Structure 1
């Protein structure tokens, strides 16, 4: 075509037609980028009260022995946004009943929270709806007002961006490494496992999260004293020592509990001692050796990006792992969530094939068609309209008169 015709603005015309092609959009469009975390406000400045704002997630399954039989249990990991403290509660399964029981135990220990965030787990969503409906009565709301506590609110971060739950996921990773590294291939009795979980809570909450003085302002070789979640919760560092004789290496060899065989005692002691030594070793390696590692591991983390905003009614594609672009599911945007910058941080989308409502993060949403776009009825392109765009600029009167005289000369 270029040998026989001269097309003005050739590259611009081609790019414009490619942008308007629905099939090209499906294979070449990118997901939406944002410049701000959707939870920046409450993550930066949460209330200065332990476990007033918190993250929740499950850990497991973990194997234990109950009445001589091997079974599975789970842990509810609750992370405080202000103090970064961790609380672990044992659950027998992942049912709604067990979650309500574990959440009630946490409320007994640290009081009722104001804001709870979790993933889209079915038991977490169902339990949150039950709690919200139950505390709507007038007496409970009046009790909250008298004590200066806002009504409990649950929220679930949208699927598709793992960093949204990074605060709780980091603590889950620490707890898993401590438990699995300490136990190894051993399967503890339930009461021994419960004892180990309390020791894990004690060690995790003693991890340094900040220094009382900055390293660059410190004079000398002394390392400044660290701040720990335990110090923020209690106001001081807990003085804890082992008071159970079998946990001490230098125990009295003649001490034997009643109705307890010596072989059984040695077996349990060796197992617990091995677990405890592994636990302390992992604590030293994981927490103390990585204090200086901060937000420098990801390049261009704070580099500004161009944000493409979507609106309800737009047609989008949902990016899925291990799926080809031709097989990405299509959906219609029903609701959007924005941040302080006006950027879309999440959307509720109605899938076209399954007719189910899902919540997704912009990092997995590919804009396809907006409400302003018009799909052409056929694939034919008018060369005259596409190649020679209309000139909409305002012309001077002298230019108009000159064009008219030129037209008359050519006609003559």
Structure 2
């Protein structure tokens, strides 16, 4: 390379410097070529014929940019490393301060003698077991080094591994691991019946030695320290055979070895196993968030409303009795008073939902805020309410805007618990339907009548402190106390004033409302303090985490794998909603695909690889 550069360029170089991080190579170039073997001597003679030995300098490996590619490197690291792209920083300094030298003393091997390695292998471990992540690889590498020692040549690497060589390598590591046992191991493990076998291996199970000999299994157990890398590698090897539970792996381990605190080590390995995380698919969680301010202060009925659509239900035509269709239920519930309005729609579309919404506002008026999940029909309704394409929708938009209507959607899709006030009531509605109609197919008007009656029954349900707690609490509190002024829709009893004074009538109505809110603050408000579930803090999902996305309508094995790109924190600095990117996998050859970004709740995610473990 040097000769080609000098021949092809018109420049004349005042000096040339060859800088290498190999002290042996530099020392060989300073010697005469006849002192070496044929392979090395030929190359040294060629180097000396085209360069001056005094032009060769030595530098530490850490300062040599060419050394980057002699070790495993991420291509991105090589692209951004300053010394690789622009040269080392010291080259911009005067030559006198360069960290290079020609006075490097090293022992120059004229010939390679393999027999020196025998002492290193047996007396001083030259293999770092902590650098391995595979038990079989560790044993195989150790066995090949033993083969090199036996044949006294590096050709021993090519020798086929035999069971005997593998057993010798395993026994070597057992002895190495047992060196870390305390010197007073007989006293420390006296309950296990320890003893030393003829080959020097420390065994346990002396008390049961006679019984153990009458079976086909191990006569005794080999004692291994729990913290040695060899022990951890062997347990990891047993776990990866079938990725079974802790007890199964422990049974396999105790068929040969006895490891103190083995169960704790197995649990740690299982927790860190990516495949086990994928197979177990334990979704993330987080402590229940703080209650919204809207639920904490009294307000008119349905002032803050949550809405959801459920079903479908089979209905029959009024004329063609044998013709059936589908209908869906729509539930509106007040998140403060827990009052319920249930209606039916004949289609799962925006227009049908908006007709039902107009019926609701005609009875109870427009609410201040409407909470809903990210269902397609409700999101579409919100878009149409804000558009001017349809004159009917434009009229509703004008009327809703005049009344100050605001729509609020859950942050993430497929997170029904974020609209839990509606989902809990839907369960009660379905239970009531199963009791009232069972499998009977009703007409649209019959189903609507049934829904209205169920809504009245649900408005009679007690909220807050249940009846029977204390006689001084009086009658129970229910949403009908505010809607009707009484618990049920029966004719009210009592003596009524026949006075025509409107002021007395107004005071009476106001007293009914005030009584409801006093009982609401006494019986219902304290129940909002208690978290029904999700009590403990969990790790916040972080950008960069590799996750499985749990989709409700997808088979478990088909869950998408993605990466968290953004997180949203609540008022208590807890992450409950995140943005995830993933690629849509289509059949055929991959031709490149842009990332798809979705929003999901952390309760729908399985964290496979946290960012701190990458």
| TM-score normalised by length of structure 1 | 0.61
Q: Which residue of 2 aligns with 1:275?
A: none
Q: Name which of structure 1's ranges 329-338 and 180-189 shifts more when overlaid on structure 2.
A: 180-189
Determine which of 317, 323, 326 is the counterpart of 1:65: 317
Tell me, what secondary structure is at the counterpart of 2:421? helix
Q: Which residue of 2 aligns with 1:225?
A: 475
Cα pair distance change 1:89/1:216, threshold 3 Å: closer
Looking at secondary structure, tell me which structure has more helix per residue.
Answer: 2
Q: Which residue of 2 aligns with 1:401?
A: none
Q: Which residue of 2 aligns with 1:271?
A: none
1:309 Cα shift? 1.4
Cα pair distance change 1:373/1:136, threshold 3 Å: farther
Q: Which residue of 2 aligns with 1:332?
A: 563
Query: Are 2:613 and 1:363 equivalent residues in the alignment?
Result: no
Task: Indicate conservation of the 8 Å contact 1:157/1:165, yes or no.
Answer: no
The superposition leaves residues 29-52 of structure 1 with CA deviations (integer Å, 9 ceiling, x where unpaired) of: 854331223x62247425522112
Task: Indicate conservation of the 8 Å contact 2:285/2:602, yes or no.
Answer: yes
Greater RCO (CA < 8 Å, at least 6 residues apart) = 1
Task: Indicate conservation of the 8 Å contact 1:33/1:363, yes or no.
Answer: yes
Determine which of 331, 336, 339 is the counterpart of 1:77: 331
Determine which of 22, 29, 35 is the counterpart of 2:287: 35
Query: Are 2:578 and 1:347 equivalent residues in the alignment?
Result: yes
Structure index of larger Rg:
2
Determine which of 291, 294, 307 is the counterpart of 1:56: 307
The 1-side partners of 2:281 and 2:468 are apart by 46
Determine which of 309, 329, 344 is the counterpart of 1:90: 344
Aligned-residue CA RMSD in angstroms?
A: 4.2
The 2-side partners of 1:17 and 1:185 are apart by 51
1:76 Cα shift? 0.9
The superposition leaves residues 2-49 of structure 1 with CA deviations (integer Å, 9 ceiling, x where unpaired) of: 422457996497579988876676557854331223x62247425522
Determine which of 372, 382, 396 is the counterpart of 1:118: 372
1:307 Cα shift? 1.6
Q: What runs of 5+ residues in structure 1 fail to find an aligned partner? A: 242-293, 375-412
The superposition leaves residues 260-313 of structure 1 with CA deviations (integer Å, 9 ceiling, x where unpaired) of: xxxxxxxxxxxxxxxxxxxxxxxxxxxxxxxxxx99xx9x95675342112334
The 2-side partners of 1:28 and 1:192 are apart by 46
Matches within 5 A, 1:198-277: 198-210=452-464, 215-218=468-471, 224-237=474-487, 239-240=489-490
Tell me, what secondary structure is at the counterpart of 2:176? coil
The superposition leaves residues 351-386 of structure 1 with CA deviations (integer Å, 9 ceiling, x where unpaired) of: 333554433222232334455654xxxxxxxxxxxx
Determine which of 147, 152, 175 is the counterpart of 1:3: 175
Determine which of 354, 358, 362 is the counterpart of 1:100: 354
| TM-score normalised by length of structure 2 | 0.43
Q: Which residue of 2 aligns with 1:307?
A: 538
The 2-side partners of 1:89 and 1:63 are apart by 14
Cα pair distance change 1:4/1:40, threshold 3 Å: same
Task: Indicate conservation of the 8 Å contact 1:65/1:187, yes or no.
Answer: no
Task: Indicate conservation of the 8 Å contact 2:464/2:477, yes or no.
Answer: yes
Cα pair distance change 1:12/1:109, threshold 3 Å: farther
The 1-side partners of 2:329 and 2:411 are apart by 20
The 1-side partners of 2:419 and 2:370 are apart by 12
The 2-side partners of 1:174 and 1:153 are apart by 25
Q: Which residue of 1 aligns with 2:431?
A: 177
Q: Name which of structure 1's ranges 362-371 and 334-343 shifts more when overlaid on structure 2.
A: 362-371
Q: What runs of 5+ residues in structure 2 fail to find an aligned partner? A: 1-172, 182-224, 233-264, 492-525, 586-594
The 2-side partners of 1:44 and 1:343 are apart by 20
The 1-side partners of 2:386 and 2:297 are apart by 21
Q: Which residue of 1 aligns with 2:207?
A: none
The 2-side partners of 1:187 and 1:18 are apart by 52
Matches within 5 A, 1:286-297: none
